[in-house]
Amino acid sequence: MAQSQDARTREQIGIAALNGIARAGAAELALACDIRLAAQALTARIAASGPLASRGAKRIISTRLLAGFGAARALSDSLRHAFEWSHDVDEGAAAHRDGRPPRFTGR
């Protein structure tokens, strides 16, 4: 149970990309992750996403599960306002405009 609690409070999203059967310790590690999947394409896509947005999404989901919809909505509004002025939002817009992959820094 302690591992599950740690996974919920961790900022980063834990992803288990499984290739075959997970037994013993591997199964425990996979269960401690937020996402368990058999395809590496999704893992790469999430890893390439902006770290601010990924961490924010995890915080909103955890808040929704623990404190309810109202608290999650308030957190979502607060994070959206904070992220609107982040370097990563500017980088995402510039990358889209320039037709290149974004280089997110988490700022």
- The residue among 45, 46, 41, 37 whose CA lies nearest residue 16 is 37
Domain residue limits, the chain: 1-48, 50-107
Question: Residues near 80 by Cβ (< 8 Å), separated by ≥ 6?
Answer: none
| pLDDT tens digit sequence for 30-80 | 888 888 887 777 777 777 888 888 888 888 888 888 888 899 899 999 998
Q: Is the pLDDT of residue 97 over 90?
A: yes
CATH number for domain 50-107, candidates 1.10.3300.10, 3.40.50.720, 1.10.10.60, 1.10.12.10: 1.10.12.10
